[in-house]
Amino acid sequence: MTSLSGRHVIVTGAAQGIGAAIATALAGQGASLTLVGRRVALLEDLAARLPTGAKHAVVAMDVSSEEAVAQGFERARAALGPVSILVNNAGQAESAPFGKTSMALWQRMLDVNLTGTFLCSQAALPDMLAGGWGRIVNVASTAGQRGYPYVAAYVAAKHGVIGLTRALALEVAKKGVTVNAVCPGYTETEILQASIANVVAKTGRSIEEARAEFAKSNPQGRIVQPLEVADAVSWLCGTGAGAVTGQSISVSGGEVM
């Protein structure tokens, strides 16, 4: 028996990067996994790479749509039963100077990063309360713990995720459910690669120079790896972290203390 054997875990934004690392780590602990995202082909490719024998389902879902979330969670339950653990990893980051941040950009950042976390948590929580046990882990960002220039909408959304984490943790503290956030610094993901490409296009710097600029915010002088974030999430999902709730754990090499 492994630590998460028999637990149904939903991971949003599971197709690549941090989400894929989290899904793989939790499958290795015996969890049954619903992999959620918009790109089914990538989700199915990940499913094929999970540990042999891992129970899984693939659900295409827009986490910012109330109707889509309700339908997606019903499909997940039909496939693998009540939800025990939810990892809200789906996210999106776009940059713009504050004065040029459009309403459309602002709303996109809130919809995916904050509203998606809210909707999925609402959909998963009844199963956890009924079972008297549950884990919600929100993948936020150091952007939810401090400020960064040119990403005001993203920073605001991630600060909102941390506020939501704290409020919900207190509501369910006596009901066997913990709610925490993991806050990665700059991590080796597709989002970071896009950010590096954006810097290169706008400044003429080389890829190496742009990477170094992102890495220097980390006191360790490096980019965080997805597996390092997945390890923190895995611990929070386990029974040994039962006394940890309402926390925002920075995985950033000491950038946030």
Strand, helix or coil for residue 79: helix
Strand, helix or coil for residue 242: coil
Q: How wide is the angle at C-alpha 59 spanned by C-alphas 58 and 65, nearest 5°? A: 160
Catalytic pick among 148, 150, 154, 186: 154
Largest CA distance in the chain: 55
Identity (one letter) of the amino acid at 83?
V
Can you tell me the distance from the alpha carbon of 7 to that of 20, in angstroms, rounded to the nearest whole number?
18
Can you tell me the distance from the alpha carbon of 137 to that of 232, in angstroms, rounded to the nearest whole number?
10
- In our burial notation (b when 16+ CB lie closer than 10 A, e otherwise), range 138-156 reads bbbbbbbbeeeeebbbbbb
Known catalytic membership, residue 150: no
Pairing type for strands 56-60 and 248-251 reads unpaired
List, by residue number, the catalytic residues: 154
